[in-house]
Amino acid sequence: MGQLVKVIMSSTFKLVIHSADMNAISGYYTVTASIEERTDDGNVVVSPRETFGVSHEEIHQRFGGDIVKWRDTVVAPTLKSHHVTRRDIHSEIIGWQGKSFPV
């Protein structure tokens, strides 16, 4: 007889840039981004959007002029926020078990 093997896959994550802009006077760049999580069962969960900014000078001073390095720094706080939001929602929903709510 064949064996049943359960394969556990993890979620995959993408940084999604919803808008990008540059102030022509100040040279300040902003992006609005979120995390898109595709769960192992195919569901897509999108985190709340967050806005990040950086000046032209900072791009050169901190990132050697490499805007991709700056973009990569946006990932960590956005991903952390996504995980905190998911954890909080999960905790709340689990707490509903066995309770009733007036409608």
Would residue 3 count as lying in a domain? no
CB 21 within 8 A of CB 52: no
Output 31 or 9, whichever has higher pLDDT: 31
Quote the pLDDT of residue 2. Answer: 55
Q: What is the pTM of this model?
A: 0.69
Q: Could you give the C-alpha distances from 96 to 54, 64, 99, in angstroms and in order?
A: 42, 50, 5
CB 33 within 8 A of CB 16: yes
The mean pLDDT of 17-26, rounded to a whole number, is 91
7: pLDDT strictly greater than 60: no
Would residue 24 count as lying in a domain? yes
Total tally of structural domains belonging to the chain: 1
Residue of 8, 21, 16 lying closest to 75 (CA atoms): 16
Would residue 103 count as lying in a domain? no
The mean pLDDT of 57-75, rounded to a whole number, is 91
Look up the domain containing 90 and give its range. Answer: 12-94
